[in-house]
Every structure is written in structure tokens, then in C-alpha cells.
Structure 1
Amino acid sequence: MSIITNKSFLQIHPDDNVLVALQDLPKGQKVEWENLTFNLQEDVHAKHKFFITERAIGQDVIMYGVLVGKATAFIPQGGLMTTENVHHASQDYAYRDVNYQWQVPDVSKFQNRTFNGYHREDGKVGTANYWLFIPTVFCENRNLDVIKESLYNTLGYNVTDKYKQFTDQLLTAYQEGESIDAFNVDTLSSVQTGKNRVFKNVDGIKFLNHQGGCGGTRQDADVLSNLLAAYADHPNVAGITVLSLGCQHLQTQSLLDDIKARNPSFHKKVLIFEQQQSQSEEQLIKDAILKTFAGLTEINKIERSPAPLSKLCVGVKCGGSDGFSGISANPSVGYTSDLLVALGAKVLLAEFPELCGAEQNIIDRCVDKPTAEKFIRLMQEYDAQAHAVGSGFHMNPSPGNIKDGLITDAIKSTGAAKKAGTSPVVDVLDYTEPATKPGLSLVCTPGNDVEATTGKAASGATLILFTTGLGTPTGNPVCPVIKIATNSALTNRMGDIIDIDTGAIIRGEKTIEEMGAEILEYCIKAASGEVTPKAVLLNQDDFIPWKRGVSL
């Protein structure tokens, strides 16, 4: 049997005692690694790990150069890592007075580049120009749905027409007695959103349907108010329509107060409609449509103009992760993050449950002790909440993560943290706190894809880089989400939701640095409206407020 070359597997860090399979490897295959020769004890699928040396019960499992687990059974040399023989473990962490030195990347290629964005009165620059509908309470969701259907169909923002046409074809065939068994779903036309858009400078009309605003606790309403205020203040939003019932916990005035507290220079158009003060539901809806239409004509006059890359605020996120996430897509996005920070932009890393195991590295990168201590406090409070209900960060990996090689939370987390590159941590933000400092900031959110993207946009992200190994159809109402695949098989299978493929890294055809620069080039085009990310084309406008309960 032939000997496996190093193109078939990878050691991520010199201290690791596991290797990552880059392709399916059969049981019995001979492996030569440095001065060792051994056989695989079982089949190892691509993305999974096998051991360089045997492990006794309780011995450390090292990956990314850090502790990611403990052996729970004897594991022979060449043995496969599984949930049966390895359990999550991570090193203790604490503040250390470390003089962190960052190796700044070469940004000469991007130094004088600009993007064409929407300049706001407060000095912020948006990558899109949206009108936003906000309900202060879930009772108004139905009215929002009625308004959305009307505006989307009439003004050219509806992307579901092709499905209606397909259903019409099925109905016609059925009524005419034809068989529908032979219908080919490939006859669906491609997405053409924006082709017949009436307002060319209005990139979308967005709706923040939610289940809050009343019931629950007053604290829930307060958190929701801060979140909605953050979205109203977002650089990608030009105007807002607020729908209120009238008697709910979250009063309209509280929302307006939170907007002003967040941004005293806020001067966007805000339209307010309260149903319990209206003559009828019909009158409320028609009035909202009429005045919003007038507002759309005004924001349509705003045009894109050049802005320095330092005006970008980019969130980094992973979801539907696999065993390649920490090898291809996440490090590539991490290099993009470093380029952005070196150019004076803001980068946001969230998902605190997915930083479990990477804490010490992050703490050592904090610019000062108060920043580090805020991160430690938020992590410990969050983890304590999870343990109080019988859970914990160690229970974060999903069945899909585990199936594709992410056996412990520490493995998932240390790979996930690669999205943040290597730059210093300049700030730590609690949920909905705005990013104000250039550089890398941490944002406290759950790992849940939509809750995390919702929180990142609230802190000011004007683009989100979202890596995935399994495929995740997630977007955000006000912040364009760019999907980055960890492997080419995913891109080929789900190309309708993927924007960038980093599979060339796994094949050894491109470097992390080359891919990171390509991702930044795409960001510049997306921020300028020259390309439209798939999540935007598909109106993947996911929005889930976090009620500050336990969510992993």
C-alpha cells in the first residue's frame, strides 16, 4: 500500500498530537510523519483527526497548539478521534501582563483604496441604503407582513415570483389533466431581484418582525428597545417606519429616547403609527404605505460616493462549521481582518460560547487590563448561566459539527477564533453596545447564527463575513452577509448561497494570505454595490433578538 503524502493530512501546530485528514483515508494505510511510521487503526474521513502518538485515559489532546480535550479511553497510535474517546477540556485562563507584539501585514496594495458608500450626516458610511420597518411589539407583525407584500410586489423587491410562477405552472398542468411527475425543478428562473426596482438608490425595504415588546419582563423590553434603536441608527439605514399597538411594555417614546441616547446626532426620518390611535387597521396600513412611499422618494436621492476603507465595520462569523473551517475559511477571513485593522477599519468578533478554549490567546491580545477583565467577566457570567441550567459551553457543537470533525467545543472554538486574525483586541462590547474604536472588538452574543449576526449588526457591522463548511442560509436585514465556503464540494452543491470558495487552500493551490486578499477585494465590491451577496439577493433577512437567556 502506498504511503500517504503530507497533502493528505495536516498538522496545524507543531505541538499538536493529532493530524487532520484532508481526504478520506482507509484503515491500515501507512503514515509517515517526521520520524514516525504507523498504520491507521480505522477509516478516517476527510476533516476528521487521528493521533500521532497513543493516548492513555486522562492524557491531553492538543490541537492548534492548545488543550482541546482529554482522552476518555485508551487511544492507539493512528487511532481516530471520536466523541467516545475524547471529551472537551480547555486550559484555565487569567489576565497576564503580556506585552503583545502584532506583526502588521503589508497593506500597500490597499492603502489608497476606497469604496463607494452612502455618507450619513453623523459621519458614518453605509454599504447599503435601506428603509427600515420596526414594530415595537409582536402584535404589529401581521400589519408589517401586509405592508411588505404590497411594497415588495409593487416596487421590485420581491424575489419569490419565480416560485409563484412555478406553482402556477403546476396548477395549470393539474387542471388540464397533465402529469406533474415529469416537472423539472431546474426550470425555475434564477434570482433577478432589483431588475425592476423603482427606486434605484434604495437597496431594500426591510422589516424587523420579532416576538417581543410585551409579555416577558420589563428587562426584555429594555434590551429589545436598545437593539431596535441600534438598527435604526445603523449606517445602512436611511429612514424608519415604526408601528406600535399602544399598550405594550416597549413604548414608542422609550425607543426614541434610546435612539437619541445612542446617537445624539441622529437626524434620520422616523415615521410613527400607533394602531390604538388610528381610525381602523386599513387606515393605519394605507397611511403607513403612503408616508413611507414619500420617504422612499427622498432617500432615493442619496447616491454613493467614495469613502476610505477605514470607514468599514466588518463582522466575522461562522456557522454550519466543519473540520476544515479552522484550516481554510476562518484563517483566510482572519487575514482579511488583519488587513482591515491595519487600514484603520473596525472588525467585530462575537459568539462568546465559541471562544471557549481560545480565551487565553484573546486575553493576551487585549490592549489593557480593563479590556481583558471585561472579557473575562462576560465569559464567566455567560458560562455560569449555562451551567446553572445543566448545560455549558462544552455542549455547543451541533450534531452536524461533530459529524464533520468538530469533536469538542474547544476544537470548534479555537478554529472559530481564527476569523479574528492576530491583531490586538481594542474593546469588548456587551450586547448592543456600539463599536467606536478602530481595530478588533469582541461582541458578547450567543453562538446561534442568527442571534450572533443580529448582535453584530447592532454593534455597527456594515458587512458580515460568514464562513460555513456545511451550508447555512443565513442573512441579516440591514447588513449584507457574505458567505464563504470552507470546501469546494459545498460550493458546487450549494452555489446559490455561497459567494466565495476557499477550497483551493485545502488543495494547496492558494495560500491563506492570497485568499484573505481576495476576500477583501470582494468586500470592497460589495460595499460599493458592484456585487450583491447571495444572502441579499435571496432576501435572507434573519433577525432574532437575544433575551439574554442561555443560548449557545
Structure 2
Amino acid sequence: MQNRILKLGATDSVLVALTNLHKGESITHGDRSISLMEDIPAKHKFFIRDMAVGDAVIMYGLLVRKMTAPAASGSRVHTGNVHHATEPYDYHGYRSVWEPPDISRFKDLRFSGYHRSDGRVGTANYWIFIPTVFCENRNLEVIREVLENELGYASTEKYKAFTRHLLAAYQESGTLEDIQDFSLPPAPASNNSGNRPFKHVDGIKFLEHQGGCGGTRQDSELLGKLLAAYAHHPNVGGITILSLGCQNLQLEELMQQITGPNGSFDKPLVVLEQQQVGSEEELVKTAIRQTFEGLVKINRLERKPATLDKLCIGVKCGGSDGFSGISANR
């Protein structure tokens, strides 16, 4: 039977609902039977015992809250009956011994990923565009529109169809008053409906930024390190770099950070400098042509099984939910 509750620490005074629980249900935990006083939505916590004002709420074996109102066993934990609280601590005197969990039951599990030459495994296979300076952002926008639409990566086709629908009605009657249905029409059959020519390329990403020109030398170095880290990311299969030529972050510096001292970087790499190529039109055409050739190369890669120790999951802070500290940020 699927686990319905979770207790995070032996001394905790709350349980976590792993699925929706309902008022009147009897929840058994150890030798204790808890009758739920109200519905407990999944990811929410409820009290194991009766709580009085001022009682400590323990979770993860630590003080996390104190009671501001009495609550019966089986009642939901919420901001109306608790407030934030922590134990005092001394950072410099703090010592902790981390005991790794038993992961033996996961040793035979696998996921399908893209194996890179540095030993890392990506969960996706993207081509990315990197400008060395914000002056190239406009060229990136032009290239984005072309490649995403023509290669099936755009997600805006249904909105374009909706706008065409409104335009046709306006041109016919001079008003939109007769349109009562504002649902989105189905996208037309095209590359955007899923018929992508590069089956093993998950998308094309464009890393616009506002740096690269002005600022201090240290600003330029930090930007270069950041962009190089994107290039090395296991989810990235190939890169196009667009440079103007007169920016602080020079191509030579960025290339050193990407390729490293031993030049072992082996992902397809397109590097173009506008002042060397010539006109803006020539730069855009060359970038599209050479990127297309790179997409052909990384499309030859296929997902292969990988062990879970190769799986690296990033969690964006600011989107906390009831599982924060359990499966996400705390």
C-alpha cells in the first residue's frame, strides 16, 4: 500500500500528508491512532498530539515553530496556529556529523540521458546561443524567431493563429463584438505541432544578458566564467557564440574559459565576431548556416541508460511548497 504519511524525525510533533487525507479518517502511526479533525491536503502537516499555546513544534528533529493557538491532535498546521521559531545557535561552535541515507534500493535504477565526454550525463540535449555583449541581443532575437519557428521549437503558434482569427474578424466587420469564443484554435499542422526535423535535440536556448561592455575587468571575468559554465553544462550539446568585437569580454578570454588549458572541450562550437564577418546580414546568415550544421551533429546523439549517481537535479528557489526541506529547498 502506498505510504500516506511521513515522519521526518523521531521526536517530531507533526506528520506530513503524502496524499490528500480526509476529515474523520483514522491515521495509524506506530502504536498511535490519530483521528483527523479536518481535511489535510497533500504536502500539508498535521499534529500528532494535542498542542497548547507556547508548545514547541518539532520537525526534522528541530524547533521550527511555536503554537499561537491551541490545536487538537489531527488538526492541520497553518499560519493561524503557529509562528516561526528556532533554537539559538553559535555558528563557529556548530558541529554536525552527516549520516548518509541507505540508498541500496536505488542501485539498479537507471534514467535515459545524454552521455558527455567529461563523464557527466544530461537529461536534455540543447543548443545554446551565447552573446559576449548585450549589443548582440538584437541579432539573437532575429535568429531565435527564425530557428524556433522553422525547426519546430516555438510555442507561440496557437497564439499566432488566435491573433489571425481576430484580425480576420476585424478586417471583415471593423469590430470584434461578434466574437464570443475566445478559446485558442488548434495550431496548424506544421513543424510546431511536433514534427521536428531534429528528433534528438530538445530545444534551442538564447542566453541574452546586459553585460560584456563597461564595468570593471572583474565584471568581464565573472561574466566569462558564467557563460563558460553554461557551455559545460551536461544538458548542452552545442554552442553558438556571437561577439561584436569591441566589448570588454573578448573572444580570446571567453574561449580560454570554455576550452580550458588542455583544450579538451569537444562539443560543436560556432564562434562568430561581427566586426570580422562584416555586415549584420552576413553574420545572421552565417550563424544560422553553421548552427544548422551543428544541430545535425548533435542530433546523432541518442539517450542511453545511466545510473542515478549521474542525475543532478536543480531546484529554483522562490517556488517553495509543502515539501521544502524534504525533496526541495528548505
- 1:108, CA displacement in angstroms? 6.5
Matches within 5 A, 1:5-404: 13-18=9-14, 22-23=20-21, 46=41, 47=44, 49=46, 52-57=49-54, 59-71=55-67, 73=68, 75-78=69-72, 81-82=78-79, 85-90=82-87, 92=89, 94-96=94-96, 98=97, 100=99, 102-107=101-106, 110=109, 115=112, 117-177=113-173, 179-185=177-183, 187-189=185-187, 193=192, 195-261=194-260, 264-300=263-299, 302-304=300-302, 306-309=304-307, 312-317=310-315, 320-323=319-322, 325=323
- 1:168, CA displacement in angstroms? 0.7
Q: Tell me the residue number matched to 2:326.
A: 418
Give me the whole-angstrom Cα distance separating, in 2, the residues matched to 1:31 and 1:238.
49
Give me the whole-angstrom Cα distance separating, in 2, the residues matched to 1:106 and 1:281.
56
Cα RMSD, aligned residues only: 4.1
Q: Could you tell me which amino acid in structure 2 is paired with residue 95 of structure 1?
A: R
Residue 313 of structure 2 aligns to a residue whose secondary structure is strand
How far does the alpha carbon of each residue in 1:186-208 deviate from its partner, in whole angstroms, 9 at most, with x for none? Answer: 54449974733233443332211
Residue 159 of structure 2 aligns to a residue whose secondary structure is helix
* Contact 1:134 1:243 (8 Å CA) reproduced: yes
* Contact 2:130 2:241 (8 Å CA) reproduced: yes
Residue 312 of structure 2 aligns to a residue whose secondary structure is strand
How far does the alpha carbon of each residue in 1:305-339 deviate from its partner, in whole angstroms, 9 at most, with x for none? Answer: 6454267332142663333x2xxxxxxxxxxxxxx
* Contact 1:12 1:64 (8 Å CA) reproduced: yes
Q: Could you tell me which amino acid in structure 2 is paired with residue 313 of structure 1?
A: L
Larger Rg: 2
Are the structure 2 counterparts of residues 83 and 259 from structure 1 closer, same or farther at C-alpha, using a change threshold of 3 Å? farther
Residue 258 of structure 2 aligns to a residue whose secondary structure is helix
What TM-score comes out, normalization by structure 2 length? 0.74
What number of residue pairs does the alignment pair up?
A: 313
* Contact 2:15 2:46 (8 Å CA) reproduced: yes
Residue 195 of structure 2 aligns to a residue whose secondary structure is coil
Q: Could you tell me which amino acid in structure 2 is paired with residue 136 of structure 1?
A: T
How far does the alpha carbon of each residue in 1:281-322 deviate from its partner, in whole angstroms, 9 at most, with x for none? Answer: 22222222232233333434x232645426733214266333
Report percent identity of matched pairs: 44
Unmatched 5+ stretches in structure 2: none
Give me the whole-angstrom Cα distance separating, in 2, the residues matched to 1:304 and 1:418.
33
- 1:242, CA displacement in angstroms? 0.8
Matches within 5 A, 1:353-502: 416-419=324-327
Q: Tell me the residue number matched to 1:541.
A: none
Q: Which moved more, 1:165-174 or 1:123-132?
A: 123-132
Are the structure 2 counterparts of residues 305 and 24 from structure 1 closer, same or farther at C-alpha, using a change threshold of 3 Å? closer
How far does the alpha carbon of each residue in 1:350-370 deviate from its partner, in whole angstroms, 9 at most, with x for none? Answer: xxxxxxxxxxxxxxxxxxxxx
- 1:37, CA displacement in angstroms? 9.1
What TM-score comes out, normalization by structure 1 length? 0.47
- 1:133, CA displacement in angstroms? 0.9
- 1:95, CA displacement in angstroms? 2.3
Give me the whole-angstrom Cα distance separating, in 2, the residues matched to 1:120 and 1:16.
43
Give me the whole-angstrom Cα distance separating, in 1, the residues matched to 2:212 and 2:177.
49
Give me the whole-angstrom Cα distance separating, in 1, the residues matched to 2:135 and 2:142.
13
Q: Could you tell me which amino acid in structure 2 is paired with residue 161 of structure 1?
A: E
- 1:36, CA displacement in angstroms? 9.6
How far does the alpha carbon of each residue in 1:394-419 deviate from its partner, in whole angstroms, 9 at most, with x for none? Answer: xxxxxxxxxxxxxxxxxxxxxx3322
* Contact 2:151 2:192 (8 Å CA) reproduced: no
How far does the alpha carbon of each residue in 1:484-540 deviate from its partner, in whole angstroms, 9 at most, with x for none? Answer: xxxxxxxxxxxxxxxxxxxxxxxxxxxxxxxxxxxxxxxxxxxxxxxxxxxxxxxxx
How far does the alpha carbon of each residue in 1:108-132 deviate from its partner, in whole angstroms, 9 at most, with x for none? Answer: 653xx573x5444445444443322
Are the structure 2 counterparts of residues 194 and 260 from structure 1 closer, same or farther at C-alpha, using a change threshold of 3 Å? farther
* Contact 1:239 1:268 (8 Å CA) reproduced: yes
How far does the alpha carbon of each residue in 1:247-268 deviate from its partner, in whole angstroms, 9 at most, with x for none? Answer: 3332222211111338741123
Give me the whole-angstrom Cα distance separating, in 1, the residues matched to 2:34 and 2:234.
57
Q: Could you tell me which amino acid in structure 2 is paired with residue 76 of structure 1?
A: P
- 1:144, CA displacement in angstroms? 0.3
Q: Which moved more, 1:184-193 or 1:229-238?
A: 184-193
